[in-house]
Each structure stands twice: as structure tokens, then as C-alpha cells.
Amino acid sequence: MTTQLKEVIQLDEILPVQYDLKIDVQSLANDSDEPELVKGELDYHFDVLKATNRLVLNCHEIVLDKVTLVKPLLSNSTPEISHNEQIMQTTLTFSEPLPIGTDAILRIEFHHNYAKDLLGHYDSTGHHLDGTPFRLSLTQFEPFYARNSFPCIDQPDAKALFNISILHPKDKIALSNMPVQSSTNVGDKSTLTVFQTTPKVSTYLVAWAIGDFESISGSCYDGKFAVNVYTMPGQKENASFALKTAVNAIEYLTKYTGIPIPLPKMDLLCVPDFSAGAMENWGLVTFREVALLADEKKSSIRAMKQIARTVTHELVHQWAGNLVTMTWWDELWLNEGFATFLADLVNNDLYPKWKIWNDFQVESQGAAFDADSKDSTHPIHVPILRVQDTEDIFDSISYEKSSCVLLMLNDFIGPEAFQKGFGLYLKELAYRNSTAEDLWEGFTKGTEDKIDVVSLMESWTKQTGHPLVIVRREGGKLHLSQKRFCRANLTNSGIEALSDETIWRIPLRVGVKYQGKADVTVLSHLMTERSITLDIADSEKIEWVKVNYGQCGFYRVLYADDISLNQLSAALTHNPDSLPVSDRLGIQSDLFSIANNSQGKIATCVECLSLVDKAYRKEDSLSVLRDAWMNLGSVIGINFEAVAHAKDNEYASTLVASFRKWKLGIFEPLAETLGIARLPEDKDALAALFSVPVTDDQEQVQLRAFVMNHLIGTRHKPSVEYLQKLFDETILPKITPIHLKEYEEMVKEVDRIERGDPEVVVSPEQIPGRIEADNALSTALQTIPANLRIPMFAAASLIQDKDAPLSELEVKRRQAFFAISHCISPILLPADQTMALSTFLGPCHRVEAKRMFLLCLSNRDTIGVRKMELYRAAAALCGLSQIGFGTEIWKLTIENEGKMWDALRARLSGNLISFMLEYLACCAVNSGSDERKAELTSLTEDFLTKRAASLPPITQLKIKEGIHTNTQLWDTQGAAVCDWIMNKGKS
């Protein structure tokens, strides 16, 4: 058996030193006669460490026009060129060895097309204030797309200096990692912008952008460090919050690390088309518009939080990832774990009333636990051989799980030791590359060698999965045992049965609440064995015992005795404030996960539903309610999907009605308490309920929006009618014939795709009156309180009969959602646009849902779905499990030998391929007759088998496991869950 080697270029012979790179994008001019090409000139400086006649560079989809060795002089300076497309490497072979020495120079002239998949160097379209379109271009090189734009050694450990210059249309602005050094006119129409030399940097962090940008500016370090935010025309007013957050975050992180950013400036740029949420390019951070633009008076709290967390995440990277960079992609988590964890640590201090750590528990911990409980999970440190497989690990393990592990370490060694250790790690390895062992050494020094962090943490980064801690109380003895939390371990007979022998070093924290005492006694212990026993004093006076007190540990907890969970349930029911928010959340989260993964053998979904029904009715924490109802919704949604897919429509309708009745009984009293069961007609009173300044306590406002959204889900008549009227009176009058014409074009495009007619290329054009119409529509939308817009959209999107033709009013509302989602006005807030898009793409209507899937195949961005939003379309469509369309969408994707997927795949690239396919399969359930089950099984297996070489391996595992798990949940617990809901609907 041969061992596959990593597809890297070895640096023991040739070492990159500097890239002098000139990029020519004169073709971006609107009146340009230039071919649609990017031209480049590169002087590649390198050191020869060993005599060799070969030089290897990464190249992909680049044409090398001329290659010449400038220095040293050889008898023949022109090499032979060969290319290995599979590993994207070009080998230059000279007629004689290159002598050992420094400052060799290779000159390359090359060209390539603008990329069409938002990766590498690609072009896009923006709009001026009058609606006139203009062209722009920018780069996205992570993880391995620099090689698509210029020849280089495109791997993290090949750091070098960069001198970048850009020849561009005179009326456009050029940006790059460093400030402008000089700007010179070239002829009448072009400008050559030359940038200062970068520090040593990895290729994936190099960036440039050219367009008609505008900006606002601030500064750090007593005015010595410029911070600029660049936007499309008319949007800079909505960049103030991001700028303020960036300035404060840079100051905070500089103090936290003890290291100022070693650059002269920091630019933040948002663009219309961007495949990721944001990218941490050193000195030029790029964003989607929704991740950067907000108005503190007009945006929702949720939108503001997301912007602050994204901006800070990317700024953490300026230290963790850019200054110190992982050696290879198998240590991706060193970048992403720190950025996720420290971003929330920073924002918790910058915006303390946001209660960011509650969001971290719901979102980061929740996503990490969910992904890591599956058989398709992988270790945090995962071997990467082919660079293409890197796309597969930009996931919840590399981001969220690693951030949870860092939170646990921070809690265990203490924040001061953690901060000190992180700073030592950065200072020791500045401008270099690192591994996890380097980081653990820094933390060990941070504890003054009191804790061996290496041995502590390797069980968390190199082992797959996470532990389940099983708790049994006997008098004053607390017996604790651990085993891996996975289906095989949870479905074996007996709680203690093992199919996996893994042991973790678990920092335990146990909270003990005694009767009559306000304070909680906390016991701490490092669990390194399979089983341990802890002594608890005064056991007869115990009110409750909570393991993983504070929820900083990354492990699930099962209470296997008769008393522990009953005591906690009693506390939740009668005295919930005796438990911290994090623990109230953790109790139900653990139980739901155990029930789902044990197939009901250790805990059942009915027990979880009963716990929420009984113990969480008095809950007033937004994060606890969010998590509980996400967990509950997942269980309910899969079972409803199974019933609907089995074509038992009458039973499905009765089941949904029973669920809504039970849910209304929980949320209507909450709405009464919050003063929103009957919304006020007075606009100022309505705004007071759903608006609050960023600096104020926002929990109540967010809670009102959350409860209102769930009331709409129950079809609460007063709320639905109020919000539908608000939408109809505010938004529908702003829908003009211009918008209706665009909607008609969309309908025709879907008809064309459905017929299978060939695509017709239509050039975007400026429509007279369009910008004025869109401005009016955007202004009207912003008269609605920001935190009420999501519930209002939910109410306006309701459809009376999922199988009947849409009513005239339902069509008008859909036309309005289409108009908002395709609006080009700079007034419109991006969060509102993406929310409208999700609403439009996810209609609870069988025919319309299929048509929205077909719309995703269109390349006409002006009336279709832009490439970067395709995953949002999949999420919206597959959220329709209650009408039985989750499974139908998956079948539509893969049937006819995967014809639909192949058409969709042509519009996807990078990790969007994995995200899209996983979303499309996430709600599929194999239910119904044996014939229907066999059909779905066969379709899925055939689809994945035929595309095994083109789909990331982890993605394939996730899809198979997801459908299998959904089906098992239905087969083992579906009947009991449905019976429970039916009974609740009768009571």
C-alpha cells in the first residue's frame, strides 16, 4: 500500500522571497475596447537553497505568455514548461542547474479571464446613485485561488513580500493590502496605482479591488493608524456602525495581544457579489454587503450583532492567521477557532448588553455539538493531502467546535493565563507559521508551567467527537463516567455499553445548590479516567446538582439516576432563576441531543417535548427559548416531513393544527406578558415595543420579535391580520409597473427552464425610473420598526392553501417580496434584502416551491438568484418540511441522473458546493410505502456513486448520514411524537 503525499511544493530547494506583480484591468472600463482579459507581469524573486534545474509554481487557468530567467544569467534563460493540471502545478526546467544563492529573479508575462465563480480574480456589477451600472473587480484567494490569478507558490507556509501595482481605468479606485505609494496617469483613460511593499504574507491573504467606491474613515492609535470602510455609491452612511466597531475592536485586540497591527492602515470593503461572508485579507478585508452595512436607528438588533461579530472575527485574523499563520490547512482551526472565540470575547466587552455569550451558546456551541455528534464528523486537526479537500473543512468543526474548545481552555486555565499565553505565541512566531503544538506551548508558559496544556488539549484536537458524561448520585457520592457521544455508543443496550474506547481529559465543573442558600457551591476536577467519584457534602440538603455548570465544557451530560433530572426539572418549573441562563439552556439541549441520537433508547423525544411543555413555560430568556424551540422544531419538522411525504395529507393537516394549538398555548401568555398579544395602532407605541438604541438593554425587544414570529407560526389571528395589513398598506402601494415587468420576466424565465429551452443571454440595462421606484420602496420599508420586519414578512408570506392556485392578494405579496429582493437602491438595508429573498424563495406552496428551485438554475442575476445566494435558496426551500417538500426537493435534485444538480452545480464553486448539497438533503426523510423508500434509497445511492470523484468526501458522508438519521428518528420515535402532539391538540 502506497502512502499518498501532500500536494505541496517543497521549500527545501527554492524559497519565495518577493513578488513584484503588475495587474492590468483596463478592460473594466465601460467603453473599453480591450479583450475581456486580465493581463499580468510578474518578477518572482526567490532564493536557491540547493542546486537544481527545476522550479515549480502553482498555476491554474492562467496562460503563460513569456517566461524568462532574469537572474542569475544562464546560457539559456528560457525554460521548458510542463503542467500537471490535476495538482495545479507548473514545472519550469532549465538547461542547467540554478546556482545556490539569493535574489534570483524569474520574469513571467501572463493573462487569464475574469473568473466566473467568485473565486480568484473576478468581476462584478455595481450601481451609481442614478441606477447606472458599472463594473468592478476584486479577489478572493482563500484557500487556494491565488494560483488562478498569478503564478506563485500558493500554500500558507510560503510567505513572501508583495509589491503590487494595478493599471486600471482612470475613473476607478484601486485598493490593495497596503496604502498607495504612487499614482500616475497613463494616457488619457488609465492610471497606474503602485502600492507599498507588504510584510511577509501568505498568498491566500493577498488582495486587490478596483471599482467606483466611496468611503468613510476613522483611526486608531491616537490617529496614527487609518481605518477606512469602502462601499458602493450611496451606501457609506450605513457603514458607520462597522467603522466604529472596527476601530474599537482593533484598539481592544492590540491591548489584549500586546501587539499593534504591523500595517499602516486597515480597509474594509463590501461588494455586491462575494462567495464567503467575509475574508480577512491583510489590510484589505472584504465583505458581503449584508455583513457590513447597517443603520443603528433602522436595522434590527440581529443584523447589528451579526455585523459586529463578522467585522471583529475578520479583525482577530489580522493577528491569528495573518501575523501568525498555520503551516498547512490541517491546522485551519488555529485561524478560525480563535477568530470565532475572540470575536465574541471582544464584542461581549464592547456591547455588554447584547449578552453575546448567550448567542455563542445557542449558535456556536449548538452547531458544534450537532456536527460533532455525527459519524461524518472529523477531528479538529484533520489531515489534508489534496488541497482541494480543504474546502470540505470550512465547517462547524474547524470554526465552532474549535472555538468551544478554546472557551473551555480559557475557563480552565483562567482568562489571564489564556491572554498571556496567546500573546507569547504571537510574539514568538510573528511573520512565521505555526502548529497546534506551538500554541499549547504558549499557553503552558502562560500558566507559568503549572498546567501541561499539550497533554490536556490533544485529546480535544486530535480525537474525533466529544464525550458524554454519565451522572449517578448515591447519597453524598457523585459517580461520573465518560464515553464518546455518538450513535453507536448511545444505541447499544445499556448506558455504559461502549463501541468507542476514546477517553478525554475533561475539565469538570459541578454546581451544587443547597436548600436555603443563594450561592451555588462549585466543584472543579480534571477528569482523566473512564470513571471517577466525587464527594458532595450535606447531600440531604441538596436542591439540585448541575454537571457542566456554566456550560463552558464541550461535553454532553446524561443524568442516569432517579433524582438529578427531577430536581433540575423542578427548579426550572418553580424557581428557574436559581439556575443561570447557560444551564437552563444546557439541560434541555443535552436531553434533546441524547434523545435524537439514541433512537429513544436512553431518552425520548416525547420526554423532551414534555420537559419544554412543563418546565420552560416560565422561561423569559431569549437564548433559552431560541435554543429550546430550535431543538423542538427540528424534531417536529422531520416528523411532519415524514408524514407529509408518506402522502397522508388529512392526518398531516390535523397534526399541524394540533401542534399550532399547543404552541399557541405557550406563546400567547408570553405575548400577553410582553404587551404584544394585541399590537397598538399608534406608530410611536409600536416603535417603542420593537426599537431600542444599541447602548440599551435589548433583550426585551429581541424577545418580543421572537415571540411575535412564533405567534405568526401558530396563525394567531390578531397578529397575522395586523401584520398583513401593515405590509399591504405600507409596501404594496410602492410596487410599480417597473417592478411588475421584472416579475413577469422572472416568470417567463422559469417557464423557459421548465420547458428545457436554451438560455438566452440578456445584457443588463438601465431601466428608466427604476432607481426612483426602488428608492421609494426602500424608504417605505424602513418606516416599519426594524425588529418587526421579520414577523411582518412571515405574516405576509402565509398562503391559505398549499395545493390551490395562489389568490390575487397572495400573488401581489409575492411580487412585493421579489421587488425588495432584487432592489438596486442604496437606501435598502442588505439584511432586509436577504430576508425578502429568503421569504420569496421559500413559499409554502407546492407548485411555487418547485418553480423557485428552477429559478436557481438561471444565470440572469437581475431576475434570478445570484450565485452567492444559492445556499440561502436551498435553506429556504428545504425549510418547507411541514408541507412535505423537503424530500421532494431532494428528489428533484437527484432524479433523472442528477440533471438538475448538474445544472445547479455549474453555478457553484468552492465550499458553496458542499453547503448547497447539504442543505438540499437536510430535510429528506425516507418514509411511506416500501416502494417509495426503495426509490429514494436507490436515487440517492446512484447519485452519490456517480459523483463520488467530484464531491468532497465529508460532504458525501454528511448527506448519507443525514437522510439515514432523519429516517431513523421517524421510524423509532415518529409515532410517539405524533401521538403526543395530537393529544396536546385535544386538551
Catalytic position from the list 7, 41, 280, 314: 314
Asked if 156 and 324 touch (Cβ cutoff 8 Å), the reply is: no
Taking the C-alpha atoms of residue 160 and residue 19, their distance in angstroms, rounded to an integer, is: 7
Q: How far is CA 439 from the centre of its chain?
A: 25
Q: Bridge partners of 228? A: 217, 267
No. of helices (H) and no. of strands (E), the chain? 30, 28
| DSSP symbols for 64-94 | EEEEEEEES--S--PPEEEEETTTTEEEEEE
- Compute, in degrees rounded to 10, the torsion defined by CA atoms 534, 539, 541, 547: 30
- Compute, in degrees rounded to 10, the torsion defined by CA atoms 362, 364, 367, 372: -130
Helix (H, G, I), strand (E, B) or coil at 635: helix
> Is the Cα torsion angle 769, 770, 776, 777 positive or negative in sign?
positive
Taking the C-alpha atoms of residue 123 and residue 137, their distance in angstroms, rounded to an integer, is: 4
| Beta carbons within 10 angstroms of residue 233's beta carbon | 17
| DSSP symbols for 803-815 | TSPPPHHHHHHHH
Helix (H, G, I), strand (E, B) or coil at 32: coil
Taking the C-alpha atoms of residue 925 and residue 965, their distance in angstroms, rounded to an integer, is: 9
| DSSP symbols for 872-892 | HHHHHHHT-GGGTHHHHHHHH
Q: Print the SS3 string covering 368-383.
A: HHHHHCCCCCCCCCCC
Sheet-wide strand order for 208-211: 120-127, 133-140, 208-211, 173-176
Helix (H, G, I), strand (E, B) or coil at 209: strand
Output the CA angle 422-427-432, nearest 5 degrees.
Answer: 105
In angstroms, what CA-CA distances link 523 with 410, 507, 511, 547?
17, 11, 6, 9
15 dihedral zone (left: phi>0; alpha: psi -120 to 50; beta)? beta
Asked if 608 and 595 touch (Cβ cutoff 8 Å), the reply is: yes
Q: Which helix (H) or strand (E) holds 161?
A: strand 161-169
Q: Bridge partners of 220? A: 225
Q: How far is CA 76 from the centre of its chain?
A: 51
Taking the C-alpha atoms of residue 198 and residue 180, their distance in angstroms, rounded to an integer, is: 11
Which grid cell sits at 971? Answer: 421510524
Output the CA angle 908-911-913, nearest 5 degrees.
Answer: 40
Taking the C-alpha atoms of residue 83 and residue 87, their distance in angstroms, rounded to an integer, is: 9
Asked if 154 and 228 touch (Cβ cutoff 8 Å), the reply is: no
Sheet-wide strand order for 89-98: 52-58, 89-98, 80-84
Asked if 341 and 312 touch (Cβ cutoff 8 Å), the reply is: no
Output the CA angle 720-725-728, nearest 5 degrees.
Answer: 125
Taking the C-alpha atoms of residue 401 and residue 624, their distance in angstroms, rounded to an integer, is: 20
Q: Which residues contact residue 457 at a Cβ distance below 8 angstroms, ignoring those fewer than 6 apart?
A: 405, 409, 436, 440, 443
- Compute, in degrees rounded to 10, the torsion defined by CA atoms 45, 48, 51, 56: -50
Active site residue 314: yes
The catalytic residue positions are: 314
